[in-house]
Amino acid sequence: MHTSHRTRRPKKDAVQGPSAGFVADSPALSLAIHAPGQFGRVAIIDITPQAEDGVFPMRVELGETFDVSAQIFTEGRSTIGADAVLRTPHGRITQRLPMHCVNPGLDRWSVQLQAGEHSDAKPWQSDWPSIKRQLGNWSLTIEGWRDVYASWLHDARIKVAARDDIENTLQTGATILRRWAQSTDSGLHARNRRVLERAAETVADSGQDENARLAAADTPVIEQLHTTHPLREAVSTVSRPVHVQRPKSSFAAWYQFFPRSEGAHLDPETGEIVQGTLRSAVSGLERAAKEGFDVVYIPPIFPIGTTNRKGRDNALTAGAHDPGSPFGIGSELGGHDTVDPLLGTMDDFKTFCRRAHELGLEIALDFALQCSPDHPWVKEHPNWFLHKPDGSIAFAENPPKKYQDIYPIDFNEDMAGIERETERIMGLWIDAGVTIFRVDNPHTKPVRFWQDVIAAVTRKHPETLFLAEAFTRPGMMRALSYAGFTQSHCYFPWRNSKRDLSDYLPLTNGDAAFYQHNTFWPTTPDILTDYIRDNGVAGHAIRAVLAAMGSPSWGIYSGYELIENRQRAGYEEQAGNEKYEVKVRDWSKAEGSGIAELLTSLNAIRRRHPATTSYHNLSVLRTDDPNIIAFCRHTPAEFTATGKPDTLVVVVNLDGHNAHQSMVHLELGDYGLPTDQAIPMHDELTGRSFQWGWDNFVSLAPWCDVAHILSVEY
């Protein structure tokens, strides 16, 4: 590994004889760069990934592997080399790796890097300060350089074989070898310098056979030095920031439940539902931890308004005992800074968070920036709301949908004041134990608003993460990620066919993921697709496997284990929507479907395999059945804690009713696998073993196995 980044120009060798005084074979000239956009001697352009002309840095989680590429070239036919250097915010070099030319015709060079080491440290744990110090803007520097030794050796082999200008050629080689031995940039040990100096003496000795002279410069030892400690001349550099974020910023397993449904039961005397509280909701925390999840997400826990309160399944009129939607925020009891008394107190919430932390869980709180007509803001800040010509406040709507129980915020009058209040409220909940905010419909607010708020909050609390619930246009979703949203809901629930998934998986796990981290949720309180409705237990298993293996970040909505898949007529959402009522569930029935056990297995597989942690290592494999999809995740040995490569092959039958068979093609060489022998594969779901090669027969039946998750056994 190189430790110096400055090239010291060696002393020039003068040719004796008729041309004495003329300097021959001088080092390749370096060109100083004085302004952005100036080229060095080696041109470096088209660096990927890069967004908006480099305004927004690429984002990765600490320890995540990622690919970087660029077009790198110089004039003429000179051989070049390239390195990528990764530095922490404090300037310490953590990696210096050679780049490789992957497309000589287009001068495209690439390398895979890793920003530090993966960690599962939580913000409240004792080792958090050491993690915190590693976060922020790292520096990625691409260095292109003239490889004068390789250029010379290529030509010298040809000229000596053709007996063409041999003496000048070999004297040039001796000069280059001496320059290499004297180079400080190469980081050579003294014994290696002597190797090069002795080789230079032999190459320069005109009394020896020319083949022997050339052979002295073309040995395995020198070839190895050229690989590890090359002579780099005319080094040219281009730097880009890489924003390294904390653990769980992209690799996370989410579990959502409504605290008021946890511990809810029927009153034996009245037959009415008695809702749960923050104290009884600890059962949800324990279930999430048992199933291996990292983050518990809860909807708003603030007081719910009574004016225009919605009834069951979004009915305009609420019954006497309907609890209302937690998204109709605010009453005479308080607003976004108050715990609904029906759930408990702020002390109860702090206790809830402490218990979550004891179980290794982070708490994500829903932040919906909207109000019921009863919210204190309506009287205190009437200019924060849009008024109709008749003086009344306009309720929220998205025609034909209407939300009579919600007033949207209007940002035209006092956006700065709304920002300050939002920052205050978020700080209050962070102090109580919240580390993540799931933001409801952020795309209906100005992007700049979120950019300001997230910058202010993370300046004080850099550990805070943000999930965008933004089902909207691609440009808006990308802009929200630029603004600071760490993860995002996405259109995965509706990507169910092989064709759709074959397109969507590489999109989610491609260069776009340096900015937008898609989180795969099979269902949410607002989403229950026809596929989930129609495919029963097998459909739930299929979508869970695709979500857990298809994205580093995935989530499950409570009740998934119970196969809650009855749709509200005419809508792709659940009948008896939990947003409008308290659910009484019999969790003893969860064992019957096997889904809870599957979720637990999937999270365990994810923890065991580093290949599941990156948004940048997935490739779709070729299959010949329209209902069988297969994809591979691969992390090379140098980026795993074990020193062994990690390769997972996921094969899924998308048909929840019928068995299907297919050949699956695995391009062995692409994953560093032997091409001349059988590859032992271990099914992480069942424990069975298989032998794989280039083309492999797979048969999956929904009543038996909906999927294989195969790990290569080295």
Alpha helices in 361-497 (DSSP H): 376-380, 415-432, 447-460, 474-483
Confidence of residue 9 (pLDDT cuts 50, 70, 90): very low
One-letter amino acid identity for 153? L
Closest residue by Cα to residue 242 from 119, 83, 61: 61
CATH number assigned to the domain comprising residue 65:
2.60.40.10
Partners of residue 619 on adjacent β-strands = 632
Task: Return the minimum-mean-pLDDT range out of 272-286, 381-395, 565-579.
Answer: 381-395
Q: Tell me which of 608, 635, 663 is where a domain ends.
A: 608
Confidence of residue 620 (pLDDT cuts 50, 70, 90): very high
Evaluate whether residue 706 is within a structural domain. Answer: yes
Q: What's residue 404's pLDDT?
A: 83
* pLDDT tens digits for range 679-689: 999 999 999 99
Q: How many CB atoms lie within 10 A of CB 249?
A: 24
CA distance 556 to 296: 10
In terms of phi and psi (left: phi > 0; alpha: psi -120 to 50; beta: otherwise), the region of 660 is beta
CA dihedral 670, 672, 677, 683 (to 10 degrees): -90
Q: Is the pLDDT of residue 24 over 60?
A: no
Task: Say whether both 212 and 258 belong to one domain.
Answer: no
Task: Say whether both 119 and 191 belong to one domain.
Answer: yes
Query: What residues form the annotated binding site?
Result: 310, 370, 405, 441, 579-580
pLDDT (average), residues 119-142 = 95
Residue 200 near residue 243 (C-beta atoms within 8 A): no
Tokens of 553: 């970040």
Task: Say whether both 152 and 291 belong to one domain.
Answer: no
Contacts of 569 (CB under 8 A, 6+ apart): 575
Evaluate whether residue 215 is within a structural domain. Answer: yes
Candidate list 291, 440, 573, 646, residue with the active-site label: 440
Evaluate whether residue 643 is within a structural domain. Answer: yes
**If DSSP states are collapsed to H, E and C, what string results for 132-188?**
HCCCEEEEEEEEEEECHHHHHHHHHHHHHHHCCCHHHHHHHHHHHHHHHHHCCCCCC
- Cα 416 from chain centroid (whole Å): 32
User: Could you tell me whether strands 436-440 and 465-469 are parallel, antiparallel, or unpaired per DSSP bridges?
Assistant: parallel
Evaluate whether residue 34 is within a structural domain. Answer: no
Confidence of residue 8 (pLDDT cuts 50, 70, 90): very low
Evaluate whether residue 171 is within a structural domain. Answer: yes
Concerning whether 469 is annotated as a catalytic residue, the answer is yes
Residue 305 near residue 374 (C-beta atoms within 8 A): yes
CATH number assigned to the domain comprising residue 582:
3.20.20.80
Q: Is the pLDDT of residue 372 over 80?
A: yes
* pLDDT tens digits for range 421-460: 999 999 999 999 999 999 999 999 999 999 999 999 999 9
Task: Say whether both 540 and 623 belong to one domain.
Answer: no
CA distance 335 to 350: 18
Q: Tell me which of 577, 608, 639 is where a domain ends.
A: 608
Q: Tell me which of 608, 626, 647 is where a domain ends.
A: 608
Sign of CA dihedral 209, 214, 215, 221: positive
Evaluate whether residue 36 is within a structural domain. Answer: no
Task: Say whether both 355 and 446 belong to one domain.
Answer: yes
Q: What's residue 349's pLDDT?
A: 98
* pLDDT tens digits for range 322-363: 999 999 999 999 999 999 999 999 999 999 999 999 999 999
Q: What's residue 205's pLDDT?
A: 96
Report how many helices (DSSP H) and strands (DSSP E) the chain contains, helices first.
17, 31
Task: Say whether both 674 and 693 belong to one domain.
Answer: yes
Tokens of 484: 């600071």
CATH number assigned to the domain comprising residue 650:
2.60.40.1180
Concerning whether 530 is annotated as a catalytic residue, the answer is no
Query: What residues form the annotated binding site for alpha-maltose 1-phosphate?
Result: 310, 370, 405, 441, 579-580
Task: Say whether both 561 and 460 belong to one domain.
Answer: yes
* pLDDT tens digits for range 90-106: 999 999 999 999 998 89
Confidence of residue 25 (pLDDT cuts 50, 70, 90): low
Strand segments, DSSP code E, in 357-398 are 362-367, 370-371, 396-398
Number of compact structural domains in the chain: 3
The single residue listed with the structure tokens 């237990």 is 537
DSSP symbol at 29 = P
Q: What's residue 553's pLDDT?
A: 98
pLDDT (average), residues 520-527 = 97
The single residue listed with the structure tokens 């982070």 is 362
Q: Is the pLDDT of residue 396 over 90?
A: no
Partners of residue 365 on adjacent β-strands = 298, 437
Q: What's residue 19's pLDDT?
A: 40
Task: Return the minimum-mean-pLDDT range out of 114-123, 388-397, 482-491, 701-710.
Answer: 388-397
Sign of CA dihedral 84, 87, 93, 94: negative
Task: Say whether both 193 and 293 belong to one domain.
Answer: no
Contacts of 694 (CB under 8 A, 6+ apart): 665, 666, 667, 668, 675
Average pLDDT taken over every residue of the chain = 93
Strands of 108-114's sheet in order across: 43-48, 65-73, 108-114, 100-103
pLDDT (average), residues 197-211 = 96
Angle of CA points 431, 437, 441, to nearest 5°:
145
In terms of phi and psi (left: phi > 0; alpha: psi -120 to 50; beta: otherwise), the region of 76 is left
Angle of CA points 254, 258, 264, to nearest 5°:
135
Tokens of 27: 């080092």
User: Could you tell me whether strands 233-245 and 58-61 are parallel, antiparallel, or unpaired per DSSP bridges?
Assistant: parallel
DSSP symbol at 6 = -
Evaluate whether residue 176 is within a structural domain. Answer: yes
Contacts of 606 (CB under 8 A, 6+ apart): 251, 253, 548, 612, 613
Evaluate whether residue 646 is within a structural domain. Answer: yes
The parent domain of residue 630 ranges over 612-712
Task: Say whether both 258 and 164 belong to one domain.
Answer: no
Q: Is the pLDDT of residue 244 over 90?
A: yes
* pLDDT tens digits for range 560-594: 999 999 999 999 999 999 999 999 999 999 988 99
Tokens of 23: 């300097």
CA distances from 243 to 57, 514, 528 (A): 6, 9, 35
Candidate list 83, 463, 469, 684, residue with the active-site label: 469
Q: Is the pTM of this model over 0.75?
A: yes
Task: Say whether both 540 and 632 belong to one domain.
Answer: no
Phi and psi at residue 233, in whole multiples of 5°?
Answer: -125, 155
Residue 90 near residue 84 (C-beta atoms within 8 A): no
Task: Say whether both 641 and 592 belong to one domain.
Answer: no
Q: What's residue 22's pLDDT?
A: 43
Closest residue by Cα to residue 70 from 137, 147, 144: 144
Q: What's residue 645's pLDDT?
A: 95
Residue 356 near residue 296 (C-beta atoms within 8 A): yes
Task: Say whether both 278 and 312 belong to one domain.
Answer: yes
One-letter amino acid identity for 290? K
Angle of CA points 529, 532, 533, to nearest 5°:
85
